[in-house]
């Protein structure tokens, strides 16, 4: 990453942590909850959310849910358990192999073909979401999101799956900022150092699947989204043109994942268009 | 003649969005507390009675300046001067972001926010009508003027108040946190600090900055309220992010010394400014920005 961009993206760690912890306390308690629940994958994003939530609410008020599939890497579960031990937080391990395999056994028969890795990955992400929202009701706890700004912009996530949550403390942090803040709050080294992976199939890594590095993505996204440079201006600065275009297109194509469903306007006042209230309305 | 040293309180509160009743109660509490601490004035943040992003709640939370809720605070100003802010609805049903200065049980001055930010994360002009003037007024703390948040980001506004002999600028605000990057020295907070320090020194005034705290749908209002003296120093600073009441002692003798030492206001050429602006407006090819 270029030194000037790296410096521009460098967080004031203490302030960022305190704003995010305040955010969690305020937005959780305002709507009448005390507790939160979240999926803990063994990756850096959910680890950071876990540390922030624990710092904000206290260890008794958070609940980590580990949801391995049979092909999940054993090191993922081990890394997640290290977070659980380090924070000394309550946790539940919920195997999702049973429901996933049962589903595809039936669906593959119905469709007469084997599901693609993409469909299987999406189904796993949604199975985890369904589990978290069930535990949300069981434990009277809000679901905390674990998607960062880079993946939200790239649309590198499953709609109504890992992208679903009630509140997301890390959604305005680029991946490099997630790494910086994670080191600050004490996320274990093994998690800080490993290659990011959705772990939906063996040997998957995000960067291999995306075809570019998170550093490249952060650098280009920051200049386009935050600094409002045009793609042409970014290319002028010496970035690879096809990469810039590819990333910009990806963001545009995935805008739908970041929005609630659109509603056909018929009346004078339509939800999502001119019925304007914050979600905090009434709280 | 007012005494040289005066105590000013700032209520750095987290208003509850759309809950006039709860916010009124908090105002009453803080006013009592400031009064007990011997303050002569308490300043509340912008839209302290309603919360900031009222959006379509505007229609519900708007009150006339003579409504019983507003009057209940004006009544409390028998003990201590109070500057507070709410959504004002006029008889012809326009909605303003308004601040009232009340003293001795009466409204002494009303300011309607002139500059309504409608860009980026802000959407004020969608809901509110803009005020159309900056008037200084006599208060028990000397000649004062009010700038509501974005008003203070326009150079001409504090200038106009200073030219009307204001020595005290009161700035109720709902300023959100933007940019926690290290290089930006935490963004909006740093900008406000530089701005107010510079105004205080250029115009030889005390400035009371009352910014709210709390969160609205993930938007963080950072607080950082305080009082800046005419030499650019902070007499008191509230913590960032926490509700609190802070009190500062303003010494008008400092204004006197600063204005004598660096007489920028004295040397200001109001006629020159007025005639050049007038000439500019007369020019056939002149297009005022934004109009």
Q: Is B16 exposed, middle or buried (0-12, 13-18, 19+ CB in 10 A)?
A: buried
Looking at the fold, whether A126 and A238 belong to one and the same domain comes out as no
Select the residue of B186, B217, B240 nearest A280 (Cβ to Cβ): B217
Residue A30 forms part of a structural domain: yes
Residues A119, A242: one domain?
no
Nearest alpha carbon to residue B27 among B12, B37, B39 = B12
| End-to-end CA separation in angstroms for chain B | 44
Same domain for A111 and A223? Answer: no
Whether residue A144 sits in one domain with residue A96: yes
* C-alpha span between A222 and B180 (Å, rounded): 14
pLDDT (0 to 100) of residue A204: 82
Burial of B123 (0-12, 13-18, 19+ CB in 10 A): middle
Q: How far apart are CA A271 and CA B56, in angstroms?
A: 12
The helix/strand/coil state of B50 is: coil
Distance, CA of B143 to CA of B150 (rounded, Å): 21
* Contact present, A68 and A96 (Cβ < 8 Å): yes
* A39, part of any domain: yes
For B16, the 3-state DSSP assignment is coil
Are both A234 and A121 inside the same structural domain? no
Regarding whether A256 and A224 lie in a shared domain, the answer is yes
How far is the C-alpha of B198 from the C-alpha of B188, rounded, in Å?
15
Which of A15, A26, A277 faces B214 most closely, judged by CB atoms? A26
User: What pLDDT, on the 0 to 100 scale, is given for residue B240?
Assistant: 82
Is residue B216 exposed (0-12), middle (13-18) or buried (19+ Cβ within 10 Å)?
buried
A200 and A215, same domain (yes or no): no
| Straight-line distance from the first to the last Cα atom of chain A, in angstroms, rounded to the nearest whole number | 42
Residue A266 lies in a domain: no
Distance (Å, whole) CA A232 – CA A244: 9
Is the residue at A70 inside a domain? yes
Surface of B (159-178) touching A: CB under 8 A: 177
- Which chain A residues are within 8 Å of B222, Cβ to Cβ? 19
Cβ atoms within 10 A of the Cβ of A73, count?
Answer: 17
Work out the minimum CA distance from B67 to partner chain A, whole angstroms: 22
DSSP output for chain A: --HHHHHHH-B-HHHHHHHHHHHHHHHHHHTT--EEEEE--SSHHHHHHHHHHHHHH-GGGEEEEE---TTS-HHHHHHHHHHHHHHT--EEE---HHHHHHHHHHHHHHHTSPPPHHHHHHHHHHHHHHHHHHHHHHHTEEEBP---HHHHHHT-S-TTTTT--SB-TTTTS-HHHHHHHHHHHT--HHHHHSPP---SSTT--HHHHHTS-HHHHHHHHIIIIIS---HHHHHHTT--HHHHHHHHHHHHHTGGGGSPPP----SSS-BTTTB---TTTT-
User: CA-CA distance, A24 to B200, in Å (whole number)?
Assistant: 36
**CB contact (8 A) between residue A167 and residue B218:** yes
CA A116 to chain centre: 22
Closest CB to A27: pick one of B53, B215, B241.
B215
- Taking 50 as the pLDDT cut, the residues of chain A under it are none
Architecture (CATH level 2) of domain B5-262: 4-Layer Sandwich (3.60)
Which of B56, B181, B241 faces A9 most closely, judged by CB atoms? B181
Give chain A's contact residues with B (Cβ, < 8 Å).
Answer: 7-12, 15-16, 18-19, 22-23, 26-27, 30, 167, 275-283
Domain count within chain A: 2
Are A159 and A242 members of one domain? no
CATH number of the domain at A35, please: 3.40.50.620
Q: What dihedral do alpha carbons A182, A186, A189, A194 form, nearest 10°?
A: -20
Task: Compute the nearest-CA separation of B240 from chain A (Å).
Answer: 9
pLDDT the model gives residue A202: 76
How many CB pairs lie under 8 A apart between chains A and B?
A: 58
SS3 state of residue B115: coil
Residue A216 lies in a domain: yes
DSSP 8-state secondary structure symbol assigned to residue B227 = E
| Residue A224 and residue A116 in one domain | no
Q: Of all residues in chain B, what percent are helix, strand and coil, respectively (each to 5)?
A: 30, 30, 40
Cβ–Cβ gap A23/B215 under 8 Å: yes
Nearest-by-CA chain B residue for A168 = B218
What's the complex ipTM?
0.90
CA distance A156 to A150: 8
Q: Do the annotations mark residue A45 as ligand-binding?
A: yes
Domain with A241, as residue range(s), is 211-261
Chain-centroid distance, C-alpha A115: 24
Distance CA A280, CA B18 (A): 9
**Are residues A10 and B220, on separate chains, in Cβ contact within 8 Å?**
no
**Are A106 and A15 part of one and the same domain?**
yes
Chain A residues within an 8 Å CB radius of B53: 278
Query: Whole-angstrom Cα distance, residue A255 to residue A175?
Result: 19
Distance (Å, whole) CA B119 – CA B124: 9
pLDDT at residue B1, rounded to an integer? 45
**How many alpha carbons fall within 13 Å on the CB side of residue B206?**
24
A77 and A130 in one domain?
yes
pLDDT in tens, chain B (291 residues): 457 899 999 999 999 999 999 999 999 999 999 999 999 999 999 999 999 999 999 999 999 999 999 999 999 999 999 999 999 999 999 999 999 999 999 999 999 999 999 999 999 999 999 999 999 999 999 999 999 999 999 999 999 999 999 999 999 999 998 776 665 555 788 889 999 999 999 999 999 999 999 999 999 999 999 999 999 999 999 988 889 999 999 999 999 999 999 999 999 999 999 999 999 999 988 887 766
Query: Does A177 lie in the same domain as A108?
Result: yes
Contact indicator for B230, B31 with CB cutoff of 8 Å: no
Boundaries of every domain in chain B: 5-262
Q: Residue A198's pLDDT is what?
A: 82
Strand residues in chain B grouped as ranges (E): 5-12, 41-43, 81-89, 95-103, 106-112, 137-139, 142-146, 168-173, 206-211, 213-216, 219-222, 226-228, 234-237, 244-251
Record: contact A283-B214, CB cut-off 8 A? no
Q: Is A43 annotated as a binding residue?
A: yes
A272 labelled binding-site residue: no
| Phi-psi region at B204: left, alpha or beta (left = phi > 0; alpha = psi -120 to 50) | left
Helix (H, G, I), strand (E, B) or coil at B101: strand
- Chain A hits for B47, Cβ within 8 Å: none
Q: How far is B182 from chain A (nearest CA, A)?
A: 5
A239 inside domain: yes
* Rg of chain B on CA atoms, in Å: 18
């Amino acid at each position: 990453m270029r030194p000037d961009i790296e410096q521009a993206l460098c967080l004031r760690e203490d302030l960022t942590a305190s704003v995010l912890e305040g955010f969690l306390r305020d937005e959780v308690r305002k709507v009448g909850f005390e507790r939160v629940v979240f999926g803990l994958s063994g990756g850096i994003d959910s680890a950071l959310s876990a540390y922030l939530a624990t710092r904000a609410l206290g260890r008794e008020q958070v609940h980590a849910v580990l949801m391995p599939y049979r092909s999940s890497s054993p090191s993922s579960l081990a890394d997640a358990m290290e977070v659980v031990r380090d924070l000394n937080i309550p946790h539940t391990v919920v195997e999702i192999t049973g429901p996933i395999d049962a589903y595809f056994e039936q669906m593959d028969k119905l469709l007469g073909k084997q599901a693609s890795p993409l469909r299987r990955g999406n189904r796993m992400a949604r199975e985890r979401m369904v589990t978290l929202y069930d535990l949300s009701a069981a434990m009277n706890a809000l679901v905390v999101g674990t998607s960062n700004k880079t993946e939200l912009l790239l649309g590198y996530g499953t709609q109504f799956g890992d992208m679903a949550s009630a509140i997301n403390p890390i959604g305005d942090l680029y991946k490099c900022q997630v790494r910086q803040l994670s080191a600050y709050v004490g996320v274990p080294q093994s998690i800080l150092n490993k290659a990011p992976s959705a772990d939906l199939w063996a040997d998957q890594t995000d960067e291999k699947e995306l075809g570019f590095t998170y550093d490249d993505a952060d650098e280009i996204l920051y200049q386009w989204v935050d600094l409002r440079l045009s793609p042409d201006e970014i290319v002028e600065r010496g970035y690879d043109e096809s990469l810039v275009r590819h990333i910009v297109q990806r963001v545009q194509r995935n805008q739908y994942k970041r929005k609630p469903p659109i509603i056909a306007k018929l009346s004078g006042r339509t939800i999502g268009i001119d019925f304007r209230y914050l979600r905090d309305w009434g709280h | 003649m007012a005494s040289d040293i005066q105590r000013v309180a700032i209520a750095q509160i987290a208003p509850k969005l759309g809950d006039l009743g709860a916010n009124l109660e908090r105002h009453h509490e803080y006013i009592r507390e400031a009064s007990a601490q011997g303050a002569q004035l308490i300043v509340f943040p912008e839209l302290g009675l309603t919360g900031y992003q009222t959006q379509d709640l505007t229609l519900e939370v708007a009150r006339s300046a003579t409504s019983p809720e507003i009057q209940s605070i004006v009544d409390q100003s028998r003990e201590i001067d109070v500057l507070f802010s709410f959504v004002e609805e006029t008889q012809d049903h326009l909605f303003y972001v308004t601040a009232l200065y009340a003293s001795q049980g009466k409204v002494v001055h009303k300011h309607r926010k002139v500059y309504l930010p409608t860009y980026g994360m802000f959407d004020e002009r969608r809901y509110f009508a803009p005020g159309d003037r900056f008037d200084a007024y006599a208060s028990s703390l000397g000649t004062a003027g009010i700038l509501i948040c974005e008003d203070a980001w326009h150079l001409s506004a504090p200038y106009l108040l200073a030219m009307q002999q204001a020595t005290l600028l009161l700035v109720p605000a709902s300023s959100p946190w933007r940019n926690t990057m290290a290089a930006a020295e935490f963004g909006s907070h740093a900008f406000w600090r530089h701005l107010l320090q510079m105004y205080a020194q250029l115009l030889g005034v005390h400035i009371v900055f009352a910014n709210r705290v709390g969160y609205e749908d993930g938007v963080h209002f950072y607080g950082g309220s305080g009082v800046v003296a005419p030499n650019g120093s902070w007499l008191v600073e509230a913590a960032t992010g926490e509700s609190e009441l802070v009190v500062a002692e303003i010494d008008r003798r400092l204004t006197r010394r600063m204005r004598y030492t660096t007489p920028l206001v004295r040397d200001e050429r109001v006629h020159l400014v007025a005639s050049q602006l007038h000439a500019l407006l007369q020019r056939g090819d002149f297009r005022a920005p934004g109009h």
